[in-house]
Structure 1
Amino acid sequence: MAAVTRGSFSVFRRLVSQQYRRRCFRLQTFRSVRTLQPLSSTSDRKLQMFSSRTLHTTIMSRGPIVQFKLSDIGEGIMEVTVKEWYVKEGDKVSQFDSICEVQSDKASVTITSRYDGVIKKLYYDVDATALVGKPLVDIETESSSELIQEEDVVETPAMAREEHTHQEIKGHKTQATPAVRRLAMENNIKLSEVVGTGKDGRILKEDILNFLAKQTGAILPPTLFQEIQPPPPAAPAAAAAAARPAATPATLKPPPIAKRVFTGKDVTEPLKGFHKAMVKTMSAALKIPHFGYCDEVDLSRLVSLRSELKSLSESRGVRLSYMPFFIKAASLGLLHFPILNASVDEGCQNITYKASHNIGLAMDTSQGLLVPNVKNVQLLSVFEIAQELNRLQTLGTAGQLGAADLSGGTFTLSNIGSIGGTYAKPVILPPEVAIGAIGKVQILPRFDAAGQVVRAHIMQVSWSADHRIIDGATMCRFSNLWKEYLENPASMVLDLK
Structure 2
Amino acid sequence: MGRYIFKLPDVGEGIAESEIAAWRVKPGDVVVEDQPLVDMLTEKAAVEIPSPVAGRIVELRGEPGDKVPVGGPLVVLEVEGAGNAKDEAPAAVSTKPTDVPSLAVQGHAREGGHPAAASTVPVPSLDSRLRGNDQSAAGLPQAAARKPGDKPIAAPAVRQRARELGIELQFVPGSGPAGRITHADLDAYIAGGARPAVVAASAPRTAVEEIKVIGVRRKIAEAMQRAKQRIPHFAYVEELDVTELEALRLHLNDMRKPEQPKLTLLPFLLRALVRTLPRFPQVNSTYDDEAGIVRRYAAVHCGIATQTPNGLVVPVVRHAETLDVWQMAAAIRRLAETARAGKATREELSGSTITITSLGALGGIVSTPVINAPEVAIIGVNKLVERAVFRNGTVVPRLTMNLSSSFDHRIVDGYDAASFIQAVKNVLEHPATLFME
1:282 corresponds to which of 219, 224, 231:
224
Q: Deviations over 1:186-210 (max 9, x none)?
A: xxxxxxxxxxxxxxxxxxxxxxxxx
**1:249 — aligned with what?**
none
Q: Deviations over 1:266-303 (max 9, x none)?
A: 44444322332233323332332223211111111111
**2:142 — aligned with what?**
none
**2:353 — aligned with what?**
410
- C-alpha displacement at 1:415, in angstroms? 0.6
Q: Hey, what's the Cα distance between the residues in 1 that align with 2:33 and 2:323?
A: 37
2:400 corresponds to which of 441, 445, 458:
458
1:106 corresponds to 2:44: yes
1:92 corresponds to 2:30: yes
**2:20 — aligned with what?**
81
1:323 corresponds to 2:323: no
**1:472 — aligned with what?**
414
Aligned length: 319
**1:122 — aligned with what?**
60
**1:65 — aligned with what?**
3
Q: In the alignment, residue 473 of structure 1 is paired with which amino acid? A: Y
- C-alpha displacement at 1:341, in angstroms? 0.8
Taking structure 1 as reference, are residues 375 and 413 closer, same or farther at Cα in structure 2, changes over 3 Å only? same
1:488 corresponds to which of 417, 430, 434:
430
Q: Hey, what's the Cα distance between the residues in 1 that align with 2:242 and 2:346?
A: 34
Determine which structure has the larger helix proportion and give its number.
Answer: 1
1:363 corresponds to 2:310: no
Taking structure 1 as reference, are residues 101 and 492 closer, same or farther at Cα in structure 2, changes over 3 Å only? same
Taking structure 1 as reference, are residues 69 and 426 closer, same or farther at Cα in structure 2, changes over 3 Å only? same
**1:164 — aligned with what?**
none
- C-alpha displacement at 1:411, in angstroms? 0.4
2:332 corresponds to which of 389, 392, 400:
389
Taking structure 1 as reference, are residues 314 and 69 closer, same or farther at Cα in structure 2, changes over 3 Å only? farther
Taking structure 1 as reference, are residues 127 and 284 closer, same or farther at Cα in structure 2, changes over 3 Å only? closer
Q: Note if contact 2:260-2:326 (Cα within 8 Å) is conserved in structure 1.
A: no
Q: Hey, what's the Cα distance between the residues in 1 that align with 2:291 and 2:412?
A: 12
Report the 3-state secondary structure (helix = DSSP H, G, I; strand = E; otherwise coil) of the residue aligned with 1:339: coil
- C-alpha displacement at 1:442, in angstroms? 0.5
Q: In the alignment, residue 300 of structure 1 is paired with which amino acid? A: T
Q: Note if contact 1:82-1:130 (Cα within 8 Å) is conserved in structure 2.
A: no
Taking structure 1 as reference, are residues 273 and 263 closer, same or farther at Cα in structure 2, changes over 3 Å only? farther
Q: Hey, what's the Cα distance between the residues in 1 that align with 2:15 and 2:298?
A: 26
Q: In the alignment, residue 469 of structure 1 is paired with which amino acid? A: I
Report the 3-state secondary structure (helix = DSSP H, G, I; strand = E; otherwise coil) of the residue aligned with 1:82: strand
1:334 corresponds to 2:272: no
Q: Note if contact 1:416-1:422 (Cα within 8 Å) is conserved in structure 2.
A: no
1:301 corresponds to which of 228, 244, 268:
244
Q: Deviations over 1:382-440 (max 9, x none)?
A: 11111111112112222222221221111011113442312111222221111111100
Q: Note if contact 1:105-1:273 (Cα within 8 Å) is conserved in structure 2.
A: no
Q: Hey, what's the Cα distance between the residues in 2 that align with 1:263 and 1:78?
A: 41
Q: TM-score, normalised by structure 1?
A: 0.59
Taking structure 1 as reference, are residues 348 and 459 closer, same or farther at Cα in structure 2, changes over 3 Å only? farther
Q: In the alignment, residue 296 of structure 1 is paired with which amino acid? A: E
Q: Note if contact 2:7-2:75 (Cα within 8 Å) is conserved in structure 1.
A: yes
Q: TM-score, normalised by structure 2?
A: 0.66
Q: In the alignment, residue 93 of structure 1 is paired with which amino acid? A: V
- C-alpha displacement at 1:365, in angstroms? 1.9
1:349 corresponds to which of 283, 292, 315:
292
Q: Note if contact 1:422-1:438 (Cα within 8 Å) is conserved in structure 2.
A: no
Q: Note if contact 2:379-2:405 (Cα within 8 Å) is conserved in structure 1.
A: yes
**2:71 — aligned with what?**
133
Identity %: 32
Taking structure 1 as reference, are residues 123 and 468 closer, same or farther at Cα in structure 2, changes over 3 Å only? closer
Q: In the alignment, residue 413 of structure 1 is paired with which amino acid? A: I
Taking structure 1 as reference, are residues 263 and 397 closer, same or farther at Cα in structure 2, changes over 3 Å only? farther
Report the 3-state secondary structure (helix = DSSP H, G, I; strand = E; otherwise coil) of the residue aligned with 1:315: coil
- C-alpha displacement at 1:378, in angstroms? 1.0
Q: In the alignment, residue 113 of structure 1 is paired with which amino acid? A: S
Which entry has the higher C-alpha Rg, 1 or 2? 2
